[in-house]
Structure 1
Amino acid sequence: MSRSRTAATSPTAATSPTAATAVTAATEALVTLGSRYVRHAPGTFGKAALAARVLNPYLRDHPRRRVVQTRSGARFAVDTEDLIQRYLYLFGAWEPHMGAWLRSRLGPGDGFVDVGANIGVFSVLAARLVGDAGRVVAVEASPACHRRLERHVRLNGCRTVRTVNAAASDRRQRLTFTLASSRNTGANSIVPYDGPAEAVFEVDAAPLPDLLAPGELESARVIKIDVEGAEGAVVRGLAPLLGGLRPDAEITVEVTPARMAALGDSVEELLQTMAGAGFHVYRLANDYDPASYPPALGGPRRVPLRWRAPVTEESDLVFSRTDAEALP
């Protein structure tokens, strides 16, 4: 066999397993360095583009499983295939404007009710804010998310958090949830879905007051509702007791008009219910684009602004008895 034929038929360095492993290791190292830059370096130069164009898709498609610490000091066991967990790994935060608003609201001895708690990002934050004299109730319908929620409560030593594996609704019933993709476990929903599903599960549902222990609703400084289209039913179930909330209680609801309509609900009905109980509506900025996170984390705190226009797109609304153009 001639030397030229040997060279033509032998694997080259560029395609050998050793070379491929080296390329993978180098890529992983660069992603780690880029993630550290986005997470820890001062300023925002280049972070938005790096996070959105390179790191976010890579960490989604090449999942990492780590225990990470958030900017508030909490610890979470994450799998970066999932959107929320990936952002915790990359930015140390999820929904930074909501987190900042909760820090401005909750103090020692307060109560917090987290409906749609997912893996516990805001429940754990609230537990740190309200201290041993406060109380936190984390309601999560998904059994898989509830298991992660419980793990994070234990991981952070949150003695004041009580978890509930159930769904909040306007009556007692059995609900079927669908998860379209494991890349966004926060999208578990009862909205009818015809596409391929990663998970389908049933869970008991009841009005929120029925899921809470005596005093948990009355002591709540903030009630957070994030239920992927079912917010109309949750608010209807809560409506009879809105008048009994503490005077400074505030309720934040992520409304998704299209999903609500698929369930026969409307944002207008929800707004009327809250207005009838003496609450004014505000809107808090929120953006899930990874490019929005570096400036959001490095900039001033955004406050909820009075909202008077129709709500036609997914929005984080804050309901308060305070009558102002912006919530302090």
Structure 2
Amino acid sequence: MSTVIDEDRTRALRALDRQFRASRTRLRYRVLRHPLRLAYPTPSRLQKWKQHGFSLQVKARTPWGQRIVVTLPDDVSISLRWNGFFEYDLSVFYLRHLQRDMTFIDVGAHVGYFSMLASRAVGPAGRVFAFEPTPSTFSVLTMNAGTEPNITPINKAVWSEASVIDLHDYGPCFSAFNSAFRARLPESVRADLTERTYSVPAVRLDDFVRDQGCIPDVVKIDVESAEMHVLRGMKDMLSGPRPIVSLEVGDMDVPGAARSRLLVEHIMSFGYRAFELHNGRAAPHQLREEYGYENIVFAPSERADQL
């Protein structure tokens, strides 16, 4: 298994940049270059699928050549199918900063895009632990993880204590919004969702890394309003091993969810510095009262100059 970081980092970054620039052109022009991948299903058909709850598993290809199974018309899957990547800035950041033999923890792995990226980046001796609590999404994650031997998929939630929690599943069309809280979607969309609730096991990250005997280098957190619970369960990690942390933020006034500013301040209270990403590069972050969707990266103060 070759590694992106050691052998293909520059090539992967260039391919990702090409895909990013192509994604900003009109879809009909891109269809001419990739008719099999982009001509079907059309955007209008995908919208109808969402309205009727129809889903379809297909394969996508990342810019660095990995094949990944996705479930249309989920928003993440559409991006991967059409563009080959999701969240450009965070993808570039990981391609630049993940190194051989690192341990990467993906909290909220979904179908496994970032886990697969990290798998190639850290190489055969590195380790990737991918947490995904939704049973149907986990089955797709397992298929994708099966192509990368250093990924360990874990069908559990990450929480502030070892327990069993209720998880709201909004179906394959909206699987990226599954949460222990209300879906982070406009009311006009939520009103038409079909919801199922599962009881799922949950673990603390501090307990998990102790039981695994591993030292995490990077932790990605994308858990749809449950961020504070994850952070409260990794206090020892933030004080001890002090990994780099990426955190998805965004204030959607979800009942019971912590405001993004509190999340940022919480991590910074452990002696971390916050950075925002622009074209994959980290710039010092200034606290805001309200946040839209983005990823904030945190580094221990003693290693912040590495970003």
Bin the TM-score by the shorter chain: 0.7 to 0.9
Question: Cα distance 1:254–1:190, how it changes in 2: closer, same or farther (>3 A)?
Answer: same
The counterpart of 2:238, out of the listed 232, 238, 242, is 242
Q: CA deviation at 1:57?
A: 3.9
2:34 corresponds to: none
Q: Does 1:207 align with 2:200?
A: no
Q: Does 1:307 align with 2:269?
A: no
The counterpart of 2:263, out of the listed 262, 270, 292, is 270
Q: CA deviation at 1:177?
A: 1.6
Contact 1:110 1:134 in 2 (8 A): yes
Q: CA deviation at 1:40?
A: 7.4
Contact 1:225 1:253 in 2 (8 A): yes
The counterpart of 2:114, out of the listed 105, 109, 122, is 122
Q: CA deviation at 1:162?
A: 1.0
The counterpart of 2:247, out of the listed 246, 253, 257, is 253
**Paired residue total:** 267
Question: Cα distance 1:321–1:198, how it changes in 2: closer, same or farther (>3 A)?
Answer: same
Larger radius of gyration between Structure 1 and Structure 2? 1
Give me the whole-angstrom Cα distance separating, in 2, the residues matched to 1:69 and 1:173. Answer: 37
Give me the whole-angstrom Cα distance separating, in 2, the residues matched to 1:145 and 1:96. Answer: 22
Which deviations, in whole Å up to 9, do the C-alpha atoms of 1:294-323 show, x marking residues without a partner? xxxxxxx33132111315123311111258
Give me the whole-angstrom Cα distance separating, in 2, the residues matched to 1:120 and 1:283. Answer: 23
1:169 corresponds to: 159
1:24 corresponds to: none
Paired residues for 1:54-203 under 5 Å: 55-61=42-48, 65-154=57-146, 156=147, 158-192=148-182, 195=191, 196-203=193-200
**TM-score, normalised via structure 1 length:** 0.72
Give me the whole-angstrom Cα distance separating, in 2, the residues matched to 1:228 and 1:43. Answer: 29
Give me the whole-angstrom Cα distance separating, in 2, the residues matched to 1:324 and 1:306. Answer: 14
The AA in structure 2 aligned to 1:211 is F
The AA in structure 2 aligned to 1:124 is M
Question: Cα distance 1:79–1:272, how it changes in 2: closer, same or farther (>3 A)?
Answer: closer
**TM-score, normalised via structure 2 length:** 0.76
The AA in structure 2 aligned to 1:82 is D
Give me the whole-angstrom Cα distance separating, in 2, the residues matched to 1:126 and 1:45. Answer: 25
Question: Cα distance 1:278–1:152, how it changes in 2: closer, same or farther (>3 A)?
Answer: same
Give me the whole-angstrom Cα distance separating, in 1, the residues matched to 2:234 and 2:303. Answer: 24
The AA in structure 2 aligned to 1:320 is A
Listed as ranges, the gaps of 5+ residues in structure 1 are: 1-38, 286-300
Q: CA deviation at 1:211?
A: 3.0
Q: CA deviation at 1:325?
A: 9.8
Which deviations, in whole Å up to 9, do the C-alpha atoms of 1:38-77 show, x marking residues without a partner? x9798678436868xx954444436664323211211112
Q: Percent identity?
A: 24
Listed as ranges, the gaps of 5+ residues in structure 2 are: 1-17, 31-40, 50-54, 184-189
2:228 corresponds to: 232
1:283 corresponds to: 276
Contact 1:228 1:256 in 2 (8 A): no
Q: CA deviation at 1:238?
A: 0.7
The AA in structure 1 aligned to 2:276 is R
Give me the whole-angstrom Cα distance separating, in 1, the residues matched to 2:24 and 2:140. Answer: 34
Which deviations, in whole Å up to 9, do the C-alpha atoms of 1:235-257 show, x marking residues without a partner? 111123312115xx310011233
Contact 2:70 2:81 in 1 (8 A): yes
Q: CA deviation at 1:326?
A: 8.8
Question: Cα distance 1:45–1:145, how it changes in 2: closer, same or farther (>3 A)?
Answer: closer
Q: Does 1:319 align with 2:298?
A: yes
